[in-house]
């Protein structure tokens, strides 16, 4: 029986080649798009699922409140939170803290000297918290002692080759660290990726007093609960916990925080609103959007199939009538038509699978993933996809099958069919649904694309282009900062240079500043700079003056504020903050203050991405903290500029390798997720429009074929070709108009909701909807117009001679 269904199904598909090609093409593209998105989301969902007892593990983050009304979530918390929680709450089984290095660190092993990143100080519980497998060493003793280090297998091979690394030494910060463990590299689907770990005991002994501070938000902290413990109940106690321990220290400085727990398996997708994070970030919102897109594309393909199949039903009713007369059962007819749709689904699946395989390398490259090619050879996945194709085939073919098979032989064979107007109305409804979904996706694509462009091109308050950054390394450079800066600047392609700690898009200090008028401490973003910082970064000075090397007092007692900082101090007019007395706790002498007055006000500028509000900033000259040099360079002859900087570097530093980067790379990384979403959305929206127009084309071909005699009669009676085209197209224009009206409120709501995560965002204007409407209208009417024009130009004699 099945063989017979297959044979008849293939015969019918070959007989109607145009509809077969349209259905298979649309379905193949839709399935390929669906599979690509599904693989992307499946890969995102896999993060941290490999960790043992992951359901019991949580990361602590702080909700930070400032007196000026700012509220932020911070991924880093003070070092005292975790051990105090473990001591006071029996439901906490263990904890892990990590103090990240925000810069590359020099490793020296024999004659090998190289910089390494993705490391920092770690508690020895890291191996159990992240289920890391040790290749060398004992997890019970590794990282327990002062000046010990654990490295991953990649670094082990890099520095020690095939020899055991256990017990060997690595010179870091001019200190010999003993290797006490070698661990397998963090799995690809771990939100944390760390190449080396120094013992936390080293920090405990170096800065014991600072490790007891409740306001030092610098540690990524995790806890593991005991089985059966209720995380929500524990989280409910954390406000009172912070009130007891942290608020007495932080509230006098104008801020306080409330700790929260985030399940470890949610960090990759749901921690995007937490600042100072080092996790490999994904986006749950992006996944939701892409999931909806995949479903929309598949639904449109299925609607196409239903529409075209029901339209073709008129030409197949006599076949159904004859088969019923000779004894065919309705169930047999239903399975016959469903089998045809399943054949289309399986052919489309094969083509879609091939398209997916061909697309995967490009997807991996663009999204930084490693989804393996040949993934469809996995038996379980192959079974899932085959079942999926069957379900798609049944979903696409069920309605046409039931509709066609419901016809009565007597009515069919005597040409007394009824209810066709109702079926035509259904087809119109399906077209409207298709274009509602298409319109929705186009609006979403335009919003994402325009928001990404807005973030990349918005004035950040400084000129981020052509700024090259190097790190200050080595004792010789540290001892001769002024001479090094002068030597680096001695080239015609170097316009200006500055030194400091804190650059837009990078780490900066969050120290408080003391208002000497009110004796109040304010939390503020702190940049320690030299006299050329404002000029080099192109920040606008709007009141007062810049730092001057001709005035030695500027280093001792001068501060410059941003507009937001001036307003934070109570000055509605920022210029009124000039001469305002301030004080700051020096880093090089903790018991002494740097006291001075405000000498200038700069225009607000962004230190972070546009997802966050402008922060108040204070700048002051403080050579003790300088960690980088930044050069504004001419864009011409870049290789010569780099060569000069490298040769100058070697004059001051023979140990550290020369490394540089451009400042705008920081913001490229910040907006990478939006760039990926915008690009993916554009591609998949284009596929959606193509599939929808493909189905519309097939429908128009069918409807114009049915109207050839009517068209011919109208032409004989004197109708112009342009009039006939308008007559044929106006029905579809009306359907598109209905789709636009229905889709606008849903599109607006979705776009508005997505944009709320950005502090700075585009406006949703009517122009956006007009653009989408014109795009679909043009694409659709071109599709309809081509076939309508072809029908209008046909020779009426040929049509009138038929039948």
Q: What is the C-alpha separation between 43 and 52, in angstroms, rounded? A: 19
The mean pLDDT of 450-455, rounded to a whole number, is 84
Cα–Cα separations (whole angstroms), residue 38 to 35, 296, 634, 685: 5, 13, 45, 16
Give the model confidence (pLDDT) of 617-673 as tens digits: 999 999 999 999 999 999 888 999 999 999 999 999 888 889 999 988 877 776 776
623 and 654 belong to one structural domain:
yes
106 and 169 belong to one structural domain:
yes
Query: Looking at the domain assignment, is residue 788 inside a domain?
Result: no
Most confident of 302-306, 548-552, 587-591: 548-552
Query: Looking at the domain assignment, is residue 324 inside a domain?
Result: yes
Q: What is the C-alpha separation between 729 and 713, in angstroms, rounded? A: 18
Of 724 and 17, the one with more pLDDT = 17
**Residue 152 near residue 195, CB atoms below 8 Å:** yes
pLDDT of the residue at 346: 84
Of 701 and 687, the one with more pLDDT = 687
Q: What radius of gyration, in Å, describes the C-alpha atoms of the chain?
A: 34
549 and 658 belong to one structural domain:
yes
- pLDDT for 122 beyond 90: yes
pLDDT of the residue at 427: 66
576 and 651 belong to one structural domain:
yes
Query: Looking at the domain assignment, is residue 266 inside a domain?
Result: yes
297 and 168 belong to one structural domain:
no
* Residue 67: Cβ-neighbour burial (10 angstroms; 0-12, 13-18, 19+): middle
- pLDDT for 345 beyond 70: yes
Query: Looking at the domain assignment, is residue 660 inside a domain?
Result: yes
- pLDDT for 722 beyond 90: no
**Smallest Cα–Cα separation from 559: which of 515, 494, 501?**
515
Q: What is the pTM of this model?
A: 0.81
pLDDT of the residue at 99: 96
Which range, of 116-120, 348-352, 548-552, averages the lowest pLDDT? 348-352
- pLDDT for 755 beyond 80: yes
**Summary count for the chain: helices (H), strands (E):** 27, 26
Q: What is the C-alpha separation between 119 and 115, in angstroms, rounded? A: 11
160 and 76 belong to one structural domain:
yes
Which range, of 48-57, 111-120, 333-342, 757-766, averages the lowest pLDDT? 333-342
Reduced to 3 states (helix: H, G, I; strand: E, B; else coil), residue 578 is: coil
DSSP state of 597: E
Q: What is the C-alpha separation between 715 and 724, in angstroms, rounded? A: 8
pLDDT of the residue at 789: 63
**Smallest Cα–Cα separation from 203: which of 145, 121, 105, 142?**
121
Query: Looking at the domain assignment, is residue 334 inside a domain?
Result: yes
DSSP assignments along 272-322, one per residue: TTEES--S----HHHHHHHHHHHHHHHHHHHHHHHHHHHHHHHHHHHHHHH
Give the model confidence (pLDDT) of 460-499 as tens digits: 899 989 999 999 988 889 889 999 999 999 999 999 999 9
619 and 571 belong to one structural domain:
yes
The mean pLDDT of 352-363, rounded to a whole number, is 87
Query: Looking at the domain assignment, is residue 387 inside a domain?
Result: yes
**Residue 501 near residue 627, CB atoms below 8 Å:** yes
- pLDDT for 418 beyond 50: no
pLDDT of the residue at 300: 81
501 and 527 belong to one structural domain:
yes
Position of tokens 């509602």?
A: 436
How many other C-beta atoms lie within 10 A of the C-beta of residue 746? 14
63 and 41 belong to one structural domain:
no
What sign does the CA torsion over 683, 688, 691, 697 have?
negative
**Smallest Cα–Cα separation from 268: which of 452, 68, 43?**
43
Q: What is the C-alpha separation between 115 and 99, in angstroms, rounded? A: 18
Give the model confidence (pLDDT) of 492-531 as tens digits: 999 999 999 989 888 788 777 889 988 888 888 899 999 9
82 and 154 belong to one structural domain:
yes
Query: Looking at the domain assignment, is residue 440 inside a domain?
Result: no
Please report which confidence band the pLDDT of residue 701 belongs to, taking 50, 70 and 90 as the band edges. Answer: low
Q: Which two tokens stand for residue 645?
A: 């900087």
- pLDDT for 155 beyond 90: yes
**Residue 478 near residue 632, CB atoms below 8 Å:** no
Segments forming the whole domain that contains residue 496: 467-669
**Smallest Cα–Cα separation from 310: which of 341, 344, 348?**
341
pLDDT of the residue at 129: 97
pLDDT of the residue at 419: 45
pLDDT of the residue at 141: 92
Q: Which of 390, 418, 446 is where one domain is finished?
A: 418
Cα–Cα separations (whole angstroms), residue 335 to 395, 435, 497: 13, 30, 77
Q: Which of 249, 275, 301 is where one domain is finished?
A: 275
- pLDDT for 266 beyond 90: yes
Please report which confidence band the pLDDT of residue 98 belongs to, taking 50, 70 and 90 as the band edges. Answer: very high
Q: What is the C-alpha separation between 524 and 615, in angstroms, rounded? A: 8
Most confident of 41-50, 341-350, 723-732: 41-50
To the nearest whole percent, how much of the chain has pLDDT over 90? 42
Of 594 and 418, the one with more pLDDT = 594
Q: Which of 396, 418, 440 is where one domain is finished?
A: 418
The mean pLDDT of 50-57, rounded to a whole number, is 96
249 contact partners, CB below 8 Å, separation of at least 6 = 213, 214, 215
- pLDDT for 113 beyond 80: yes
Q: What is the C-alpha separation between 436 and 513, in angstroms, rounded? A: 55
Q: What is the mean pLDDT of the chain?
A: 84
pLDDT of the residue at 605: 93
**Residue 492 near residue 632, CB atoms below 8 Å:** no
Please report which confidence band the pLDDT of residue 223 belongs to, taking 50, 70 and 90 as the band edges. Answer: very high
247 and 103 belong to one structural domain:
yes
Position of tokens 């321990």?
A: 245
pLDDT of the residue at 443: 87
pLDDT of the residue at 127: 97
- pLDDT for 592 beyond 80: yes
183 and 253 belong to one structural domain:
yes
DSSP assignments along 721-789, one per residue: HHHHHHHHHHHHHHHHHHHHHHHHHHHHHHHHHHHTT-SS-----HHHHHHHHHHHHHHHHHHHHHHHH
Of 581 and 252, the one with more pLDDT = 581
Q: Which two tokens stand for residue 107?
A: 């490793």
Query: Looking at the domain assignment, is residue 159 inside a domain?
Result: yes
pLDDT of the residue at 803: 46
Q: Domain tally for the chain?
A: 3
């Amino acid at each position: 029986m099945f063989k017979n269904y297959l044979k008849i199904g293939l015969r019918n598909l070959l007989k109607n080649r145009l509809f077969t090609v349209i259905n298979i093409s649309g379905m193949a593209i839709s399935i390929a798009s669906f599979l690509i998105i599904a693989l992307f989301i499946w890969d995102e969902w896999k993060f941290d699922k490999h960790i043992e007892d992951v359901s019991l593990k949580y990361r602590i983050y702080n909700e930070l409140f400032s007196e000026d009304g700012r509220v932020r979530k911070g991924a880093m918390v003070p070092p005292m939170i975790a051990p105090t929680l473990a001591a006071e709450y029996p439901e906490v089984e263990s904890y892990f803290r990590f103090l990240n290095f925000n810069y590359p660190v020099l490793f020296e092993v024999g004659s090998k000297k190289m910089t390494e990143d993705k490391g920092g100080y770690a508690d020895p519980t890291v191996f159990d918290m992240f289920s890391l497998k040790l290749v060398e060493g004992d997890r019970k003793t590794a990282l327990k002692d002062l000046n010990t280090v654990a490295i991953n297998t990649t670094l082990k091979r890099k520095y020690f080759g095939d020899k055991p690394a256990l017990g060997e030494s690595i010179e870091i910060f001019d200190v010999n660290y003993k290797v006490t463990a070698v661990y397998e590299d963090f799995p690809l689907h771990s939100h944390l990726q760390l190449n080396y770990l120094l013992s936390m005991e080293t920090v405990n002994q170096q800065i014991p007093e600072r490790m007891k501070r409740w306001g030092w938000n610098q540690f990524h902290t995790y806890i593991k609960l005991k089985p059966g413990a209720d995380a929500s109940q524990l989280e409910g106690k954390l406000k009172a916990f912070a009130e007891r321990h942290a608020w007495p220290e932080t509230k006098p400085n104008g801020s306080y925080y409330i700790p929260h727990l985030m399940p470890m398996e949610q960090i990759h997708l749901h921690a995007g609103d937490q600042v100072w994070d080092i996790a490999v970030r994904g986006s749950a919102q992006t996944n939701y959007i892409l999931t909806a897109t995949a479903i929309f594309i598949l639904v449109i393909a299925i609607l196409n199939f239903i529409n075209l199949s029901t339209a073709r039903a008129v030409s197949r009713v006599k076949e159904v009538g004859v088969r019923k007369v000779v004894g065919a059962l309705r169930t047999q007819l239903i399975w016959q038509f469903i089998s045809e749709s399943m054949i289309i689904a399986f052919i489309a699946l094969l083509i879609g699978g091939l398209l997916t395989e061909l697309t995967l390398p490009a997807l991996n490259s663009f999204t930084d993933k490693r989804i393996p090619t040949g993934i469809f050879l996995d038996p379980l996945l192959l079974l899932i996809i085959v079942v999926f194709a069957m379900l798609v085939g049944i979903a696409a073919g069920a309605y046409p099958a039931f509709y066609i098979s419901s016809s009565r032989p007597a009515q069919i064979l005597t040409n007394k069919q009824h209810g066709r107007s109702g079926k035509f109305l259904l087809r119109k409804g399906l077209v409207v649904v298709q274009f509602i979904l298409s319109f929705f996706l186009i609006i979403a694509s335009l919003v994402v694309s325009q928001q990404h462009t807005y973030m990349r091109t918005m004035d950040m308050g400084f000129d981020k282009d052509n700024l090259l950054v190097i790190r200050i390394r080595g004792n010789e450079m540290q001892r001769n900062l002024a001479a090094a800066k002068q030597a680096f600047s001695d080239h015609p392609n170097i316009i200006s240079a500055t030194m400091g700690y804190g650059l837009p898009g990078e780490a900066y200090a969050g120290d408080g500043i003391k208002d000497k008028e009110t004796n109040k401490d304010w939390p503020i973003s702190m940049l320690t700079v030299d006299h050329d910082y404002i000029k080099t970064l192109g920040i606008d000075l709007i009141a007062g003056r810049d730092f001057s090397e001709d005035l030695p007092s500027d280093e001792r007692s001068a501060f410059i504020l941003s507009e937001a900082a001036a307003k934070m101090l109570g000055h509605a007019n920022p210029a009124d903050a000039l001469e305002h007395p301030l004080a700051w706790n020096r880093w090089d002498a903790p018991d002494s203050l740097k006291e001075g007055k405000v000498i200038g006000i700069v225009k607000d500028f962004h230190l972070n991405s546009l997802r966050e509000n402008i922060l108040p900033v204070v700048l002051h000259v403080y050579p003790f903290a300088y960690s980088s040099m930044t050069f504004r360079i001419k864009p011409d002859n870049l290789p010569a500029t780099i060569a000069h900087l490298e040769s100058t570097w070697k004059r001051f530093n023979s140990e550290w390798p020369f490394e540089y980067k451009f400042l705008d790379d920081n913001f490229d990384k910040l907006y990478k997720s939006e760039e990926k979403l915008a690009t993916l959305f554009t591609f998949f929206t284009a596929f959606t429009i193509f599939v929808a127009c493909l189905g519309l084309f097939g429908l128009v071909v069918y409807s114009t074929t049915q109207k050839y005699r009517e068209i011919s009669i109208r032409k004989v009676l004197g109708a112009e070709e342009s009039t006939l085209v308008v007559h044929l197209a106006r029905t579809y224009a009306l359907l598109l108009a209905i789709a636009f009206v229905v889709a606008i409120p849903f599109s607006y709501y979705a776009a508005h909701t997505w944009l709320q995560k950005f502090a700075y965002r585009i406006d949703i204007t009517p122009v956006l909807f007009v653009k989408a409407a014109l795009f679909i209208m043009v694409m659709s009417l071109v599709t309809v117009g081509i076939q309508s024009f072809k029908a209008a130009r046909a020779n009426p004699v040929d049509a009138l001679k038929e039948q």
